[in-house]
A and B are shown apart, each in its own frame.
Chain A
């Protein structure tokens, strides 16, 4: 299969000047400056094949944005090689960006004051898309994203969800082989999120568009991506199937008890004796969560013992969410499995 993204020991260092404290320090700064080199991305390597949908995740400051910006040709790498769509993004920038689409959730691609379709017209010219190709492709995009009625409204009058769908359409105007999505569903309601996800799945199937998705909303990734690349402190700490991540780390269930009266940790502790389970306090009053391994007899045993000893007003059983898995991974640092 064709490699769409090929990154080898990619690195980005930022030199930042750290100021000394106090007036005397400020004066010394005038003559000699202290520079600190901060590595935002430390020698990462990975490849993405055509048609893959990859979730690119990490906490704030993990190096996600910086590496995406190197992949899209915005930043120049300090060292290492990047080949995207067979090109070197920052060296052949103008040619390269024709082959990618970019959506930055917090930044608009569209012109604020003019109607959406006028923005599309400008972008069509900028990307030099021929009329027939544009019509065929965009009619389909406009229909699937259901933005037809919005086309003659200025962007500033659109709601966030409407704007986001238009942004997505704008990024796909030149039918790129590769799509970078940075927080595309931030602040959107569930219905719009679903619509966007369905649309992304559809173009992935129809055009074999490769998608690299960055998001804090892991439900997006669960819905779309088979593979995740996880970054921490500028390094890749996990690169593989989402399912495997879940099976290695998410083996277990959570049983959430809402107690009818005040209970304390000491009271509850003996109830889990000799079972592979432990308590954590819930976020509401009188709510405690038992984290147990995913085995029938343990689960029933825990519920049985707790119900026998206390008055319960509610019980819920959840699987451990991906979010929690990821939180656990970050808390424990490196991934071993």
Chain B
């Protein structure tokens, strides 16, 4: 209860500051949209040369991309803590966080949120509706609920991976270039995993489970029954990865060395 009210107060405050910089906000939304469009064009270009990709049609892949945008938008809005090392460890902002009576990760999420990213949810749903109508997909009454679980699962998988990476900074405060690389690997989850070789597929499923953000949950909505097992694992993977990440974070906080003054 207390956390929710703190959350909404931060959101209100965030909106207030963002609205004073309206142009910035507009630019950010525009650049997000442009980025999403480029990705879509890339898919179209690939399918200009072929009709099928390992048994997946163009519209199916567009649908997967549309789905991916939704958990990714949620991740981008709340868990995008790629600059944690720089901002909180090197500059010592973590000291301030730790003197306040709220869980440290929760505070950082509140401070670093970028609600503009949520716009991606709308784009994602629009893309899914477009691809879904071309594929003649039908919806059952429970599908929106399943969708919610899948999206949250996917967002938590993403969040878990990035929190784990951020936690590394507690042990080693040297700068690494893992974060940008991770964005690239994250994109692999947007394509059907059976187009990759076995090792990559294994990695994307169990080690850096980005496949649970795109292909696997989408397979459920596309009616690809051979992937249902993986699809229903999505919320579980989300919970497990997120839980593990928080666990590691909490250990990391006790190893925090502070920045020298």
Contacts and interface: CB of A to CB of B under 8 A. Distances in A.
Interface of A: 14, 60, 65-66, 69, 72-76, 90, 93-95, 97-98, 100, 102, 104, 106-109, 111, 113-114, 118, 121-122, 125-128
Contacts of A100: 99
Q: Which residue among B17, B92, B93, B258 has the maximum number of chain A CB atoms within 10 Å of its CB? A: B258
Given A14-B257, A65-B261, A74-B256, A114 B17 contact: yes
A286 B17 CA distance: 59
B256 A126 contact: no
Contacts of A118: 13, 16
B258 to A, nearest CB: 5
B256 A94 contact: no
Contacts of A65: 258, 260-261
Nearest to B95: A74
Contacts of A104: 95-96
B116 to A, nearest CB: 16
B261 A114 contact: no
A75 B258 contact: yes
Interface string B220-261: 000000000000000000000000000000000011111011
A108 B261 CA distance: 14
A94 B102 contact: yes
Which secondary structure dominates where chain B touches chain A?
Answer: helix
Contacts, number: 69
A76 B255 contact: yes
B2 A97 contact: no
A316 to B, nearest CB: 35
Contact size class for B? Answer: 20 to 34
Interface string B98-123: 11111100000000000000000000
A114 B102 contact: no
Given A121-B9, A125-B5, A128-B2, A94 B99 contact: no
Interface in B1-50: 2, 5-6, 9-10, 13, 16-17
The 9 closest A-B pairs by CB, nearest first: A102-B99, A74-B98, A76-B254, A94-B101, A98-B101, A97-B101, A113-B17, A125-B9, A65-B261
Nearest to A105: B261
Q: Which residue among B16, B96, B102, B261 has the maximum number of chain A CB atoms within 10 Å of its CB? A: B261
B102 A126 contact: yes
A126 B101 contact: yes
A91 to B, nearest CB: 9
A226 B254 CA distance: 34
Contacts of B13: 111, 114, 118, 122
A197 B31 CA distance: 51
Contacts of B93: 107
